Each structure stands twice: as structure tokens, then as C-alpha cells.
Amino acid sequence: MALRDLLDELKEKRKRFLGMGGSEKVKKQHERGWLTARERIRKLLDPNSFIEVGLFAHSDSPGMEERTPADGLICGYGLMDGRRVAVIANDFTVLASTNAKVNLKKLLLFKTQVKERIKVPLVFLGEAGGARMPDCQGSKEICDLTGYLPDGLMPEYTNFRTQPFVFAAYGKCYGVADFQANLADFVVQVKGSVISVSGPRALKKAIGQAYSGEEMGGWKVHARITGITDMVAEDEVASFQIIKEFLSYMPTNQSELPPKKSVPPGSEERMSRILELLPENRKRAYDMHRIIECIVDGGECFELKPEFGAMLITGLARINGEVVGIVANNPIVNMGATNTDALDKMMDFLCLCDSYNIPLVFFHDTPGHMVGKEAESKKVGAKVVNALQCLFQVTVPKIAIIVRKTYGQATINMCGIGGGPDFIAAWPTAEIGFMDPSIAVDVVYGNLPEKDRQKMIDKMRGDNSPYPAAGAYCLQDIIDPRETRDYLIKVLKIIRDSEDKGMSKHLLANWPTKF
């Protein structure tokens, strides 16, 4: 064949494969209200920056070559705001991007290359229908999916956190797409999408249950109940911005520090309002978000899992341009008492920050852990211990600020005294003890006359002030709340001037975080 003919053939094949499942399938995708995989990639990445690998791959089933462009999985590299990233996108227009031999081979080899050689952030744009039937049905066929190797599926089911891994859920995310979401460091779910192991049709046929995809794995399920979803997007365009914002806090890989940015104007002035936000009445609740906004650059905190375990805030922010991870009790929810969801959420966040060299700042205001029959049924004791084991393996710098109350075991879980802080300071409003003074008096003395009871409460509260702890050098300092930002800036400079610059030893790089 002449060279010109070969080039014409290449052009024609490329055009056909770039057309995905064909115009009718693309039309159906749009009618369902979703973009195609290639449209998502174009909107996510910088113009003309995407280089694809595996465009001409297709199903190895006889007669399926023309029907399976890229075998339903698009892989490649591009730039996002000028920064190199890797992208995997399920192409739902090709057999619902179902999982089969070539499709899986691309996934495994590409993820291996990204994680072991290229080590740039990986973004998985998920929308897939599970396993491809009948391609995977027989004994030989199921072995095909492993590459006939004892550990052939290791790249699919492990995440050693060598570089940030983001999963975005669109449409239906069943089977492998669900598993990828549960491996990811960060999950953004678009409203209307579903993340579940099985689809409604297979579920009904297999075990006779009739639930919609939304009931099994819609955004309300994963944002509020399971905690799998870190952030919910109103639509696909919003999801792309969320992905970019999350990655703006992340290093390219675990060998680098997070990117530093210039400080927005007005960041210092917010500190003057902080006393207005903390009630003088110690029993009055307040929103810790407002305190954090006074301290961090531009008042901006990128919160993860805001509707899951909401009495604990976990978020990414900057202080003087340096990325920090914020862990804070929120007294406006259950007085800041942490439940098992909050402990799971904390472990997830500690692993994220420790894996990507992000120093942690803890803000205390908690009466302790939530206890009782329901808590015990959710293994509260085991969750407390798991969270402590996780905390004690964190090797990024840890800074604790005791804002108000910090009682009992929760003090340690919040990286307080005994919990391994590198720097620890308290506000003069801090209360440190085993439990709330009013409860402690009733436990110790029983039913006292109200006059005597109040005297004992005042005595116990005095003993809980931060000064005895500072006198015993359990606290390094007691600071004016208005000096908190300046204190943290100075501490972060000490960390960056240190020998290891605050880099982690990455002991939690393979700690499972999906509870």
C-alpha cells in the first residue's frame, strides 16, 4: 500500500475511534444529561494539551473491533492550569465502558506507569456499567482479567499514595468505577450520579431487591451516610473546578512539598474580629468555621466531607501561603462531641495530609467522644483506638491550639497533650480536664445543694484552666486569640527551616481509609 494510502487509512481510523460509540450513542449520552468522556477531558484540561495513549485499542472478541473504539477507556496525559496530570476516563458510549480484557489491561498498565514512573496527579473521570458480559463469564475469561498472574490486579486495587488520586463520579459508576472511587484520595460526586458495586438491574435479578441507583449510591448516601464522597458538585462544570481547586493544594507527588502561593490582601485584618466570634458564655455554641476563616489566608478553607461527621471540620487551607490541613471540633454540632463518623473522617484526612507532606493544625473545642448504646453498636472504642494508631503514625508536623474545652480521651485524639503534638498552645479560654466540670461534680459528689454544687463546679473549672498545664510544661504557650495567625506563621517558618522541611516519612501511605 502506498504511503499516501496508509496515511489516509490512519486519518480515517483516528477519526472513527475519536468518534467513540458513534453519533447515536453520543446523542443518547447528551439526552441523559451527561457530557461524553472526551468532552469532559477537553473541559478539564488546558486546550490542546492532551496526549492519548491507547486510542487504537479495542475488544479482542471477534467482530467487535469496530464497535469498541479505545475499548471504552480513554487514557493519557495533559496540562491542568499548566501543570502535568494523568487522566483516565470511562467512555460510556462504548458498551457502557464495561470492564473486559483489553479495557482492564489499559487501566492496569496506565495506572502502573503513572504511579511508578511518571508520578503526577491522576484524575479518574468515572462512568461505567461494571463487568462486560458474557466476555468475563467463563473460567478462562475471568483469568484473562488477571493477566494470568497471581497478583495481576494489584495496580487496580491498591493505592500507595505516591501521587494524588482524584475520582469524579458521573452518571452510573458500577463495579470497577465504584472500586476506583474507594481507592481515591479525593472523590467528587456530581448530583444525579450513582456510585455502587451493583446496578439496580443486576441487584434485582441476583437477590430480588428493587432499589434505584439513587437509593443505593446517590450523592446523599455517600456525602452524608458512608462518607465516601468528599465533595458534591451541582453539575459537571462545577466538578472540574472542584478537581482543580483540590489539586491546587496538593504536591505533584509525595517527594515534593505542597505548592506555596502569595497571600491574598486583607488576610491579616480578619484576626481583629476573632474575639467577636467566640462567645464569652462558655456554654454557648458557635461555628468554628468562622474562627478558621479569621486565621487562614483569604478566609478560604477547602472543606472535605462537610456533611459527614459534621461535628469535626477537616479542610485544606493556607497560612502565609503555606498549605496546612485543618482538623477542628465544631461546637455548633453536638457541642463538638465526636461520633464514629467523625473519627473515620479524621483518619481519612490524617492519611491524606501525611501522605502529601501537609502539616496539620488542630483546633480543640470538644467535651469528648459521643458514648452510649448507639455509639457502642458502631464500635466507638475500636474507632477511638484506630484513630489513635493512625495519629501516632503521622510524621508531618502537628500543631495543636486549644480554643476552649478539651476533655477526656478526645483530647488525645485531637493531638492534644499525650497525642504527639510538635507545637501546642492554648487560648486563655481553654478548659482541660477529664470531663465537663458540671458533670464531674455530679459524678464525684452526687446530689449537692445548688449553692454547694456551684462552688464545686467553680473549683473544678479553675483546676481546668490552662495555667496548671503550662506550669507543668504540658503546654508550650498560652496566647491571645488575636495572635493565633502570627503564632502559626512563626511555627510554620520553623518547620520549613528545619532539616527535613516538614516532609513526611509516609508511614500511612497505604492505610485503608474507606472505613
pLDDT at 328 (0 to 100): 98
How many domains does the chain contain in total? Answer: 2
* 232 bridge partner residues: 189
Reported confidence tier of residue 471, pLDDT bands at 50, 70, 90: very high
Q: What is the pLDDT of residues 389-419, one digit of tens each?
A: 999 999 999 999 999 999 989 999 999 999 9
Q: What is the pLDDT of residues 496-513, one digit of tens each?
A: 999 999 999 999 999 987
* Residue 514 in domain: no
Mean pLDDT over 15-26 rounds to 96
Q: What is the pLDDT of residues 212-253, one digit of tens each?
A: 888 889 999 999 999 999 999 999 999 999 999 999 999 999
Among residues 229, 248, 267, which one ends one of the domains? 248
493 and 392 assigned to the same domain: yes
With CA atoms as reference, report the closest residue to 166 among 110, 112, 121: 121
Kindly state the cell numbers that stand for 473.
Answer: 510544661
152 and 109 assigned to the same domain: yes
239 and 282 assigned to the same domain: no
Q: Which domain holds residue 87?
A: 3-248
Neighbours of 326 (CB within 10 A): 25
* Residue 269 in domain: no
359 and 411 assigned to the same domain: yes
Three-state DSSP at 448 gives coil
* Residue 334 in domain: yes
230 and 304 assigned to the same domain: no
Three-state DSSP at 101 gives helix
219 and 286 assigned to the same domain: no
Q: Pick the residue with more confidence: 317 or 441?
A: 317
Three-state DSSP at 499 gives coil
Q: Is the pLDDT of residue 131 over 80?
A: no
With CA atoms as reference, report the closest residue to 292 among 264, 261, 267: 267
Measured CA to CA in angstroms, residue 420 lies from 124, 355, 382, 473 at distances of 35, 18, 20, 14
Q: How many CA atoms lie within 13 A of 305 on its CB side?
A: 29
Three-state DSSP at 366 gives strand
Kindly state the cell numbers that stand for 486.
Answer: 502570627
Mean pLDDT over 288-294 rounds to 97
351 and 214 assigned to the same domain: no
Could you tell me what percent of the chain has a pLDDT over 90?
A: 77
Q: What is the CATH number of the domain that holds 367?
A: 3.90.226.10
Residues 6+ apart with CB under 8 A from 429: 278, 282, 403, 404, 481
| pLDDT averaged over every residue in the chain | 92
213 and 346 assigned to the same domain: no
Q: Is the pLDDT of residue 261 over 70?
A: yes
**Residues 76 and 107: beta-carbon distance below 8 Å:** no
317 and 235 assigned to the same domain: no
pLDDT at 117 (0 to 100): 95
324 and 200 assigned to the same domain: no
* Residue 456 in domain: no
* Residue 170 in domain: yes
Give the range among 54-63, 238-247, 353-362 with minimum mean pLDDT: 54-63
Mean pLDDT over 107-134 rounds to 92
Q: Pick the residue with more confidence: 268 or 139?
A: 268
Q: Is the pLDDT of residue 363 over 80?
A: yes
Give the range among 2-6, 323-327, 443-447, 501-505 with minimum mean pLDDT: 443-447
45 and 188 assigned to the same domain: yes
Estimate the crossing angle of helix 340-355 against helix 380-392, to 10 degrees. Answer: 20
* Residue 48 in domain: yes
With CA atoms as reference, report the closest residue to 504 among 158, 257, 317, 259: 257
Kindly state the cell numbers that stand for 445.
Answer: 459528689
* Residue 507 in domain: no
187 and 288 assigned to the same domain: no
Provide the pairing of β-strand 165-174 with 122-129.
parallel
Kindly state the cell numbers that stand for 152.
Answer: 495481576
* Residue 142 in domain: yes
Q: What is the pLDDT of residues 424-468, one digit of tens each?
A: 999 999 999 887 777 767 767 777 888 888 888 887 777 789 999
